[in-house]
Amino acid sequence: MMLADEASFEVKPSPPAKLAIEGVSKWFRTPRTSVKALENINLTVPEGEFICLVGPSGCGKSTLLDIIAGLTTPDEGRVLADNQVVAGPGRHRLVMFQEAALFPWLNVFGNVMFGLKRVSGLTRKQRREIASYYLKLVGLEKFGKSYVHELSGGMKQRVALARSLAPDPRVLLMDEPLAALDALTREQLYSDIQNIWARRRKTIILVSHNVREATCLADRVFVMSSSPGSLRDEFRIDLPRPRDVNSPEVAITASKVMAALKGHMSVSPKAVE
């Protein structure tokens, strides 16, 4: 996809944030039982790094993302964003969900404007310019007046990406945003995300169960295991960017991550024997 020209608006981009997750634990309590979802998670993410959390379903990776976003409070430990304790959701840590979660009562442009309207210190004109810029960046400048139901799944996630980027957050949290897309659209979005990240650097945490995707996108990949969810292995991916998800280098590295992931699966072949 062609990238848009440099932004015409005069707004200084926010610097990416540093994240520190310190001793975070979380239980899920139902009236009868109490399940430990996360156990003692410690993780430091420097400014502008792209982190990926992979793990089997139910390993608590989405819960961890919710905690970092401030949508859920941890039972133990804390999350620091630029040395400030995260006490609730804030516009500097935006979340992209697996479903695009776009608002059907607004058109595409209105959806991108939604977060922007809650950023103080911008004029109406600036907001409109920023929204147009990001719509162009994701290649949907012609669809500003469309309604959400008129878009394909991939287009919806692109709008969601533009909506998350437009308010210029310092951290972007992605909760399997590409999982529901077809392979071709997904690959297109891999290169889009890498392009955009290169241009407008953010601290990104991506949650995924797709090891190839994680290896293609991240600086560091963390493998999680379930019950209770915990961080097990760390892989630093030093491949040159932009990366192609189909390249042999990505495949080789991904297979190492995959081996680690399988090693932590609760029901491994050895355990059955």
Q: What does the binding site for another protein look like in residue numbers (CB under 8 A)?
A: 69-71, 88-91, 93-95, 97, 99, 101, 103-106, 114-115, 118-119, 147-150, 163, 167
Nearer to another protein, 113 or 217 (CB): 113
Rounded to the nearest whole angstrom, what is the least distance from the CB of residue 131 to another protein in the complex? Answer: 13
> What is the Cα–Cα distance from 22 to 44, expressed in whole angstroms?
8
| Three-state DSSP state, 27 | strand
Instruction: Confirm if 229 and 59 have CB atoms less than 8 A apart.
Output: yes
Rounded to the nearest whole angstrom, what is the least distance from the CB of residue 227 to another protein in the complex? Answer: 25
Instruction: Confirm if 261 and 239 have CB atoms less than 8 A apart.
Output: no
> What is the Cα–Cα distance from 70 to 90, expressed in whole angstroms?
7
Nearer to another protein, 46 or 89 (CB): 89
Rounded to the nearest whole angstrom, what is the least distance from the CB of residue 134 to another protein in the complex? Answer: 14
Rounded to the nearest whole angstrom, what is the least distance from the CB of residue 17 to another protein in the complex? Answer: 14
Contacts of 202 (CB under 8 A, 6+ apart): 16, 48, 165, 169, 170, 171, 172
